Amino acid sequence: MTNIPALTVRQNPDIKYLGKLLGDVIRAYGGEELYKRTEYIRSTSVDRHRGLADLEAIDPGLDALTLDETTAFVRGFMLFSLLANLAEDRQGVAAEEGASVEEAVAKLADEGVDKDAVLALLDKALIAPVLTAHPTEVRRKSMIDHKARIAELLLMKDSGEQATPEGDILDDAIMRQIALLWQTRPLRRERLFVTDEVQISQSYMKDVFLPVLPRLYAKWERVLGARLPNFLKLNSWIGGDRDGNPFVDADAMREALSRAAETVIGYYLMRVHAMGAELSISTELSEVPAEVIALADASGDDALSRKDEPYRRALSGIYARLSATHLKLCGHVPGRPSSIQAQAYDNPQQLREELAILAHGLRSGGSGVFATSGALGRLIRTVELFGFHLATLDMRQNSRIHERVVAELLKEAGVEADYLALDEAARIKLLRAELANNRPLVSPWADYSEETAKELSIIRAAAEAHQKYGPDVITNYNISNGESVSDILEVYVLLMETGLYRAPKDEDGAPHCPVMAVPLFETVADLENAPEVMTEFFAIPEMQQLAKSRGHQEVMIGYSDSNKDGGYLTSTWSLFKASNALTPIFAQTAIKMQLFHGRGGAVGRGGGSAFGAIKAQPKGTVAGRIRITEQGEVIAAKYGTRDVAEANLEAMTSAVLLNSLEPDNNDQKVQASFASAMDSISQVAFAEYRDLVYGNDSFRTFFRQMTPLTEIAKLKIGSRPASRTKSDKIEDLRAIPWVFSWAQARVMLPGWYGVGQALAADGDMAKLQDMAASWPFFQATLSNMEMVLAKSDMGIAARYAELVEDPDIGQAYFNRIRSGWDQTRDILLEITDQPHLLAKSPALFNSIELRLPYIEPLNHLQIELIKRLRAGEDDPRIGEGIQLSLNAIATALRNSG
Ligand code: PGA
């Protein structure tokens, strides 16, 4: 018997309740036999985790399953995890200290930072979650929707209700939803298109972000006692990020923008309609200001029944104009068109002004009951935040493609025959010369390559979008693989072709460009060079002028690729150092720095608590401005319901306030000594990681055979292909399948490899403990790693290693990984002074321990199915079973991709 200490896992009562219902559903729909087999495996697995059974005890239960039973069993375990996630989400985001704006403001006040300082910061602030379509969400939207419905029903149950407002008994209604989940196919059969991704994101916008953001502002205004500027906004990449996704083209982008306009205008129409029903104020009973009367008179609503109701009439007019705007921007009338002919709004400001007239009117009368203008105030805020474009859309493309396109344009125009052969200085010189005048390079008679034609058409679509929706529709253009100044200038040259970039009018003037080119530094070397690149960039007078005219310049830093390149510790440290080193460069120019953090859900892709991560950013690097990607499964977890979204946006905002305004307590000397220790530790970790992953080509074979990489690439979870090229090099693999594969095999290598060896090599335990106790960066690095270690399992991983065809290769690499893991765990426990992982984080410990027994059997089944598939068995249920197991394990691990 293996000697696993029995640990006490506290059951969440919701999990017990939902788990019991799920058991009933399995019995009712899958039959008594399936139920019994599932239950046998479940209880044996739980026993094994309590130290009461061997790893092998589960095998007879698993071996007894037929292929049909296997898929049903996997679905059952997946649904358990789904329901466990739901139960946890109901407990709210971890109650981290200061995770609300109110708490942050109070904490700051205690530290001598008053509300005026908070308001001054917010005045120049931008906090923007950026939704992306990175393919890590394995669940279909229908599953997510059933889950949300169960959450709603549980909320009713919490408030003591027995039945829904429609009269359904709550327990029955919950049971029905679980039965629906059981009968809903979890896997997508068809591939996902960009339009599907757009549609999924729109449902979050409509159901969550549009109502939640104004509600939050109203709450924060009560805390701060002042009207707040629009510092928290929502941005998106969906339909604009074409890096490695050939399906994002000009049409896809137009479609995304048009859908967004449809969603937001549709939402305004609904709100205006509802207010029309409510604001029945009569001129006979109330003093109504002349501006409101004038708006009502101009509305075109001459119904006699509303003659004395100017607010209603004015709202009819607003509704009619919105309806016309819908036709103009979306190409068709809304579902409930207005019967009044009206002129479309030219821009959202016009709509806002009309709403403001009504708000002012309401405030001016009576005893001040309408002083805070409720629904109308929230709608005004919504219009300010979402305009007619909904979420500002970023564009993204790879610098290699820009280079080729610019080279072709220059060649066709007879300017430069071989741009790609030029060195950086020559490129910069040439590009600056192009940017100095507004002469177009593109010729209508030239026959461009498909790539160039496609790139030009999407940039033209961006210019059209500016005409149609206004300047807020696209403001940032991210350049993947950014490594030099010419990478940035190339984008401006391309934007110049459509008139988006305009050369300065005179020598001292600034160029004009409503779209900011943003380099994304994403390898360890590029992060190291980032400060130098930005110094050179600002040394170009017209570029400095351009950034000054905006007041800020963004730099994007990539977590996943730097991790794949240099391992967890070096990536984390390089990101920290780059942010730090960039700060003085910006300070010298008086241009505000805006860092854009490209991170995913898994720790190997920069995941972990956003609140902790923002608070742990180097001092001075946030200063009120930050953008962060929100991807895949993280979107449903953080923004799945309004309450959860509200809590997460609060946490993000309060972390920004705390990081930006809290006095720094660590004195500089201590920081310098910590930093030099980290430099050495990082070097060792880097060498260890690089040697393992890139030291010998046989590692590629090991990785591909040990993990379900090939099967992951077949999951229909995103519109973009899993890989940019056909090469099998780790360098060319996208970070998502890399991280995803290691998670499934329970190794989670990107979240820890190399750390233990490096910390042990340092050897100064007192200093490491001091760093862990007093340095937020180091604390966050260790605590994220600890979570990853707790979710990994070398016993299970050993079984995956047996999938490697050549046992010598399999064992050699696996032994190295296993001993690295042991070393990492041991030293982490010593530094943090804990008897076992997560001993000081009981909530997380419980959450993970509860899930482990449900994941392990899935791993065993997955391995068996992969063996059969690779041995040439062609029963389609094997492939389906593998895909289901990938889905189920990802659901259970929560942040796996
Ligand atoms: P990318 O993203 O592959 O789109 O650059 C990397 C990631 O977020 O993992």
Mutate to test the pocket of ligand 1, among 395, 630, 736, 738 (most ligand atoms within 8 A of CB): 736
Q: Which helix (H) or strand (E) holds 131?
A: strand 126-132
pLDDT in tens, 706-762: 999 999 988 888 999 878 888 889 999 999 999 999 999 999 999 999 999 999 999
Question: Residue for token digits 């969603």?
Answer: 263
Cα separation, 308 vs 357, whole angstroms: 18
Handedness of CA 367, 372, 378, 381 (dihedral sign): positive
Q: Which helix (H) or strand (E) holds 480?
A: strand 476-480
* Alpha helices for 91-140 (secondary structure H): 101-110, 115-123
pLDDT in tens, 791-838: 999 999 999 999 999 999 999 999 999 999 999 999 999 999 999 999
Residue 310 near residue 296, CB atoms below 8 Å:
yes
- How far is residue 50 CA from its own chain's centroid? 36
Report the b/e string of 456-489 with b at 16+ CB within 10 A.
bebbbbbbbbbebbbebbbbbbbbbbbbbbbbbb
What's the token pair of residue 128? 């923007």
Calculate how far, in angstroms, residue 633's C-alpha sits from the geometric centre of ligand 1.
14
- The per-residue pLDDT for 518 is 98
Q: Averaged over 318-326, what is the pLDDT? A: 98
Residue 459 near residue 401, CB atoms below 8 Å:
no
Q: Averaged over 334-354, what is the pLDDT? A: 96
First to last CA, the chain: 34
DSSP state of 345: P
Q: What are phi and psi of 121, to 5 degrees?
A: -65, -45
Contacts of 334 (CB under 8 A, 6+ apart): 265, 266, 269, 322, 323, 326
Least confident of 6-10, 400-404, 501-505: 6-10
**896: three-class secondary structure by DSSP:** coil
The single residue of 49, 147, 389, 564 carrying the catalytic annotation is: 564
pLDDT in tens, 414-473: 999 999 999 999 999 999 999 998 889 999 999 999 999 999 999 999 999 999 999 999
Cα separation, 253 vs 240, whole angstroms: 6
Mutate to test the pocket of ligand 1, among 480, 521, 560 (most ligand atoms within 8 A of CB): 560
- pLDDT category at 94 given cuts 50, 70, 90 is very low
- The per-residue pLDDT for 96 is 56
Domain with CATH 3.20.20 in the chain: 393-661
What's the token pair of residue 391? 């979420």
* 134 catalytic residue (yes or no): yes
**557: three-class secondary structure by DSSP:** strand
* Residue 397, strand partner residues: 479
Domain with CATH 1.20.1440.90 in the chain: 125-140+185-386
Cα separation, 695 vs 753, whole angstroms: 14
- The per-residue pLDDT for 505 is 85
What's the token pair of residue 571? 């990536």
pLDDT in tens, 356-369: 999 999 988 776 66
pLDDT in tens, 255-310: 999 999 999 999 999 999 999 999 999 999 999 999 999 999 999 999 999 999 99
* 328 catalytic residue (yes or no): no
Query: Does the domain spanning 125-140+185-386 belong to CATH 1.20.1440.90?
Result: yes
Percentage of the chain beyond pLDDT 90 is: 81
- pLDDT category at 93 given cuts 50, 70, 90 is very low
- The per-residue pLDDT for 1 is 33
Least confident of 293-297, 620-624, 636-640: 636-640
Between the CA of residue 136 and those of 191, 364, 603, 731, what are the distances in Å?
Answer: 14, 51, 13, 20
Residue 93 near residue 651, CB atoms below 8 Å:
yes
Q: What are phi and psi of 740, to 5 degrees?
A: -60, -45
Question: Residue for token digits 């939640």?
Answer: 212
Cα separation, 519 vs 528, whole angstroms: 14
Atom of ligand 1 nearest to the CA of 396: 4
Contacts of 666 (CB under 8 A, 6+ apart): 774, 775
Contacts of 370 (CB under 8 A, 6+ apart): 362, 363
Residue 883 near residue 714, CB atoms below 8 Å:
yes
Taking CB atoms and a 6 Å cutoff, what residues make up the pocket around ligand 1?
134, 243, 480, 560-561, 598, 600, 605, 734-736
Least confident of 20-24, 307-311, 527-531, 640-644: 640-644
Architecture of the 393-661 domain: Alpha-Beta Barrel (3.20)
What is the rounded average pLDDT for all residues in the chain?
A: 93
Atom of ligand 1 nearest to the CA of 720: 4
- pLDDT category at 669 given cuts 50, 70, 90 is low
Calculate how far, in angstroms, residue 130's C-alpha sits from the geometric centre of ligand 1.
13
- The per-residue pLDDT for 7 is 40
Q: Starting from the edge strand earliest in sequence, which strands make up the sheet with 235-236, in order?
A: 392-393, 235-236, 126-132, 625-631, 592-598, 552-558, 516-521, 476-480, 395-398
Percentage of the chain beyond pLDDT 70 is: 96
Which is more confidently placed, 365 or 73?
Answer: 73
Mutate to test the pocket of ligand 1, among 238, 397, 561 (most ligand atoms within 8 A of CB): 561
- The per-residue pLDDT for 373 is 63
Cβ count near 695 (within 10 Å)? 12
